Amino acid sequence: MPLYEFLCSDCGQEFEELVFKAAETVNCPGCSSANARKLISACKFKTGGPVVQGSPSANAITTRGSGCGGCAGGNCSSC
């Protein structure tokens, strides 16, 4: 769901709002003004890269199995 950050031009309050349509009017939760502008939000995500042993990503990979034909669970020394 698209969650956006806004700044109210009337009272200066920053807030987040779910917006489904680009033309949807967003009202400030503090003063109810419709004079709010969308802010540029920083986003952070990671894709790829090495898998660190003991991390949730490593655990998810080893519990699902692997492409190794030598074992069924992905926990053998050859995987």
Residue 57 sits at φ, ψ, to 5 deg, of -65, -40
Structure tokens at 62: 């080893």
Which tokens in the block code for residue 44? Answer: 């952070």
Query: CA nearest 4: which of 39, 42, 43?
Result: 39
Residue 70 pLDDT level (bands cut at 50, 70, 90):
low
Q: pTM for the full model?
A: 0.50
Q: What is the pLDDT of residue 72?
A: 54
- 33-57 tens-digit pLDDT: 999 999 987 766 667 777 667 666 5
Report the distance separating Cα 53 and Cα 1, nearest Å. 32
CB 75 within 8 A of CB 62: yes
